[in-house]
């Protein structure tokens, strides 16, 4: 029996989804547990101080690698979203009031963890007049204020494409301005009914026009075709997207969209090569790559290729950067192993 989230009944689409059992993952989708000294130290600190990260609470398979590299992801704005995407594990409902101390709390967590790079994402807050813009922007400002040596990536909803909202976000000066398109035009409305494909592209263009390093993500295995993936990559690059991550859809529960197909590692390698040929400045592609995976590395790569100087206080993020295909979850690494 499929249970609805507390406080509501199953939606019709959730009932339809639940008719398909959760799929068994293929053998190539697995994460190796490799606990280095930085990970162990960070794990103990997080437990001792009661800190909260998306990495732990979402059970991300890349936590060992990212924490070893002193990178982590934080979710702001509450645990419920005003929108529902058929692939997303965050529940839809009436969000709690905004915690105006949350930006400082996140910044202090970053400080305690001594992070080199922090990704901040959050829920859509259509219930608020500013759709949560202040909360997102203030979190960037507070992290930079308390942690001048930490890079910040801001992964935002679309804020209805409002230019004033986008400008306010860019004014907070995150290192990376990220907005995930996630899927292709033909199935976009079915999977992300509260978003619009063209509007998402425009959000990226606005960020690019305001001088940001821009980033997006594509999730494969939700019903798209190979040709449509190529089309979406070209659309994103034309919109001004600098960085792209490409990943496999993993179904969070029976309530969510069934997996349409398991994309083999070689296709991820082909897509990585294609994205580089199209002109993206940085690409991460693999079944367990996530949009914040090795995010600091991608930012530094983009800065170098744009010919921009990396601030002295963030130069450590660029240390030891190698070409794509050298991180654990990239498909090229999986095939080589």
State yes or no: 55 annotated in a binding site.
Answer: yes
Dist. CA 17–CA 30, nearest whole Å = 24
The closest of 245, 176, 238 to 212, measured between CA atoms, is 176
The closest of 116, 105, 194, 181 to 152, measured between CA atoms, is 116
Distances (CA, A) of 244 to 48, 101, 206, 281: 35, 32, 17, 8
State yes or no: 292 annotated in a binding site.
Answer: yes
pLDDT digit string (tens) for the chain, length 337 residues: 566 776 678 889 999 999 999 999 999 987 777 788 888 888 888 887 777 788 877 778 888 888 888 999 999 998 889 999 988 888 888 888 999 999 999 999 999 999 999 999 999 999 999 999 999 999 999 999 999 999 999 999 999 999 999 999 999 999 999 999 999 999 999 999 999 999 999 999 999 999 999 999 999 999 999 999 999 999 999 999 999 999 999 999 999 999 999 999 999 999 999 999 999 999 999 999 999 999 999 999 999 999 999 999 999 998 866 554 568 788 888 787 6
State yes or no: 241 annotated in a binding site.
Answer: no
For domain 49-336, give the CATH number.
3.20.20.70
In this prediction the pTM is 0.94
State yes or no: 112 annotated in a binding site.
Answer: no
State yes or no: 81 annotated in a binding site.
Answer: yes
State yes or no: 170 annotated in a binding site.
Answer: no
């Amino acid at each position: 029996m499929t249970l609805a989230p507390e406080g509501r009944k199953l939606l019709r689409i959730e009932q339809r989804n639940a008719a398909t059992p959760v799929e068994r993952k293929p053998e190539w989708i697995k994460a190796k547990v490799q606990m280095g000294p930085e990970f162990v130290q960070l794990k103990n600190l997080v437990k001792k101080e009661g800190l909260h990260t998306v990495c732990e609470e979402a059970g991300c398979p890349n936590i060992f690698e990212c924490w070893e590299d002193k990178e982590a992801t934080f979710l702001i704005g509450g645990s419920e979203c005003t929108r529902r995407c058929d692939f997303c594990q965050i529940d839809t409902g009436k969000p709690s009031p905004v915690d105006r101390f949350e930006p400082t709390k996140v910044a202090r967590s970053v400080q305690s963890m001594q992070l080199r790079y922090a990704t901040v994402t959050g829920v859509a807050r259509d219930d608020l007049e500013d759709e949560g813009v202040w909360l997102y922007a203030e979190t960037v400002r507070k992290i930079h204020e308390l942690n001048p040596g930490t890079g910040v990536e801001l992964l935002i909803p679309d804020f209805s494409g409002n230019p004033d909202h986008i400008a306010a976000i860019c004014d907070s000066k995150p290192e990376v301005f990220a907005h995930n398109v996630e899927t292709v035009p033909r199935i976009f409305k079915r999977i992300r009914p509260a978003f619009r494909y063209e509007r998402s592209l425009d959000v990226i263009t606005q960020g690019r026009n305001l001088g940001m390093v821009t980033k997006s993500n594509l999730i494969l295995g939700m019903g798209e075709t190979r040709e449509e993936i190529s089309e979406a990559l070209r659309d994103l690059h034309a919109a001004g997207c600098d960085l792209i991550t490409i990943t496999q859809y993993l179904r969070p529960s029976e309530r969510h969209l069934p997996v349409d197909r398991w994309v083999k590692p070689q296709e991820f390698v082909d897509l990585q090569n294609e994205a580089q040929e199209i002109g993206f400045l940085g690409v991460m592609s693999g079944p367990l790559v996530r949009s914040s995976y090795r995010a600091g590395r991608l930012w530094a790569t983009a800065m170098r290729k744009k010919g921009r100087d990396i601030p002295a206080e963030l130069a450590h993020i660029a240390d030891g950067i190698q070409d794509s295909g050298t991180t654990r979850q990239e498909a090229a690494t999986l095939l080589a192993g």
